[in-house]
Amino acid sequence: MKVKALRYKDTKEFIHIESYGEEPMVCTSSIPNIQPETATLELMGKVMEADDFFEGLELDMDNVELVEFDLIDVGEVGADIRNKLTPYNNLVALVGLYFKETDVDKQIVLKKLILKETKQSEESIKYIANLL
């Protein structure tokens, strides 16, 4: 799921606007304060201007950016990576069979399967590389 968070451009620290008593306070953290996927800097600025709660809040909006990232369930990444490793398992098994096979006709069939799994493996490695 795509989510967004405010952070400072220079320090890359995530911004949290907290309420202690009646005054809002800007805090920073290495953990994002998740905003909806539909959030924009412009919209957030308008909300801050319109709501009296944010009056007096010291936040330099020129040094703030809204970054988008994927929020992933803990088990989801592991399962996704396991699924993407299947072509590699197939490839290793097929190469092993290919080198043990003495029948040329069967080697031709195995070679076609090896080429197919190699292409799928290339796609999987690109996916995994962009996952994190």
Domain boundaries, the chain: 2-71, 75-131
> Is the pLDDT reported for residue 97 higher than 90?
yes
First to last CA, the chain: 14
Reply yes or no on whether the pLDDT at 122 is more than 80: yes
- Which residues does residue 76 pair with via DSSP β-bridges, in sequence order? none
Residue 94 has pLDDT above 90, yes or no: yes
Q: Flag whether pLDDT at 84 surpasses 90.
A: no
Q: Hey, which bits of the chain come out as E strands?
A: 2-8, 14-20, 23-29, 34-35, 64-70
Identify the pLDDT of residue 37. Answer: 82
Residue 90: closest CA among 123, 114, 122, 108: 114
Residue 53 pLDDT greater than 80, yes or no: no
Average pLDDT, integer, range 80-101: 90
Lowest pLDDT segment from 20-29, 69-78, 104-113: 69-78
Give Cβ neighbours of residue 73 (< 8 Å, ≥ 6 apart). Answer: none
pLDDT tier for residue 99 given thresholds of 50, 70 and 90: very high
pLDDT value, residue 90: 92
> CA-to-CA distance for 67 and 7, rounded, in angstroms?
7
pLDDT at 75 over 70: no
Distance CA 9, CA 62 (A): 9
